[in-house]
Amino acid sequence: MSDQHPEPLDESGDEFDAIVDAETDRDPDLAVIEAGSRTLRTQAGPPQDQAPSRPADPEVDKDLREVEQELAGRWGETKLEPSVSRISALMDVLGEPQRAYPSIHITGTNGKTSTARMIEALLGGFELRTGRYTSPHVQSITERISLDGAPIDPERFIATYRDVKPYVDMVDASQEYRLSFFEVLTGMAYAAFADAPVDVAVVEVGMGGSWDATNVIDGSVAVVTPIDLDHTDRLGGTPAEIAGEKAGIIKQGATVILAQQPVDAAQVMLKRAVEVDATVAREGMEFGVASREVAVGGQMLTLRGLGGEYEEIFLPLHGAHQAHNAAVALAAVEAFFGIGAEHARTLDAETVRSAFASVVSPGRLEVVRRSPTVVLDAAHNPAGARAAAEGITESFGFSRLVGVVGASADKDVKAVLEAFEPIFTEIVVTQNSSHRAMDADELAAIAVEVFGDERVVVEPRLDDALEAAITLAEEEAEYSGAGVLVTGSVITVGEARLLLGRG
């Protein structure tokens, strides 16, 4: 392994540590066949916000840190007890806020957050007030709860926490285990949506489905993005086993929007749909991507919805996987409006175009710097890594690509690296500030197996790793088309975003 020691970034070590402490003191990260079920056949939104930075007001920042610290003292998202009893008890004492609005519930392995953002943009385009709950966050915990396409402001986040805290304490006292970090945030989101009030909630599961804390809603539309292997220690070792857990969000009489799935996962989903008399629309059959072309800054799509075709849809996101997410999002919104069941029509095409053109998804093949181009992608499992590799190859055409990878120790890191091996000229291995981060030397040992000794650089500090990668990308004039891809973890991407001035 080679060692690079370039000049450091502008931030000193102390400043970098302060940024990490301020922004990442959290426990994150926590993702077609017939089977007798009915199928759906047909018989712009407000600009979405980027990841927010710390509050400018020192007092607000202090209060937010106190809330973050209290939440961090609870079970993290990786420590789970498979039950919805605690969140149900919290909803009960809060007066069932999650019943105050209809919901679109999203599960799957990859693409949930991007799909949620697209659904939110479409609903907003049709002048509905939206609440969106997604996880994990890229930079600020406030990203998880959004109203009208933007994260709730820190003051509102703090006020919501203080409003629900007495009820949280009541439930803590009555249960065998205290409410977890994710359960409290879920309660906060549902309460904030009821208080707004929203017209519709777009809710992404934290993990799984049946016993996920979000699963106290009755989503009239259940969305299942592609299922692959992730969190296998908790959800199962095959797509079918994982699908069995995720199918728990499909409620009696709901409409299911099913992305393309492994056949065994699709069988499980369709069986569940039959059991609860749900209506199913399947990508590739009832809806899908009719055509797509790479365009400057994204891609141009023709989407086949439940009610007909929508042409000339510009999506400012890269990769075929985002086109498929767009098709799923469109079908979900059509289903929410009754298209394909009660109505044989399309949504207003201009509104759909405007909404899709407004979509952003921080940390998903996101360009944060030019000369050289630095791209961030939060891929952290093999399927996500394959999608990112395909997307960056198609959309950017780098002559040389240097990878910066910091991963979590509980992931299938070797398979992630193998997905990137064909497109990385060199790889700089590093680690983020999370206690779940894989040690840089341990990651380097795996990287050497995949890439060989000469292509691996070790820089334990992320700021050093970024500078090393940028230096490698710039070092030879013939590589003027070189770029850097930062990936491996949502936390790595969030911290890189800060260091590169996007916080």
Q: What pLDDT digit, counting tens, does each position of 460-489 carry?
A: 999 999 999 999 998 864 556 899 999 999
pTM value is 0.84
| Residue appearing with tokens 């790479």 | 294
3 state DSSP class of 293:
strand
Kind and range of the H or E run holding 46: none
Q: Which of 38-52, 72-86, 404-418, 459-473 has the lowest mean pLDDT?
A: 38-52
CB atoms near residue 342 (< 10 Å) = 9
3 state DSSP class of 206:
coil
Segment 68-79 shows an average pLDDT of 82
**Residues 6 or more apart whose Cβ sits within 8 Å of residue 8:** 463, 464, 467
What is the SS3 string spanning 183-204?
HHHHHHHHHHHHHCCCCEEEEE
With 60 as the cut, is the pLDDT of residue 4 above it? no
With 90 as the cut, is the pLDDT of residue 236 above it? no
Q: Which of 46-60, 92-106, 346-360 has the lowest mean pLDDT?
A: 46-60
* pLDDT number for residue 116: 97
What is the token pair recorded at 322? 């985002």
Segment 378-397 shows an average pLDDT of 92
- Using a pLDDT cut of 70, give the percent of the chain over it: 85
112 half-sphere exposure, CB direction, 13 A CA radius: 29
* pLDDT number for residue 161: 97
* pLDDT number for residue 434: 86
DSSP 8-state code for residue 252: T
| Rounded Cα distance, 332 and 258, in Å | 9
392 half-sphere exposure, CB direction, 13 A CA radius: 33
* pLDDT number for residue 24: 38
| Phi, then psi, of 360 in degrees rounded to 5 | -125, 155
Segment 85-104 shows an average pLDDT of 97
pLDDT digits (tens, 9 = 90+) for 422-466: 999 999 999 998 888 999 999 999 999 999 999 999 999 999 999
239: confidence class by pLDDT, cuts 50, 70, 90: confident
| Rounded Cα distance, 25 and 29, in Å | 13
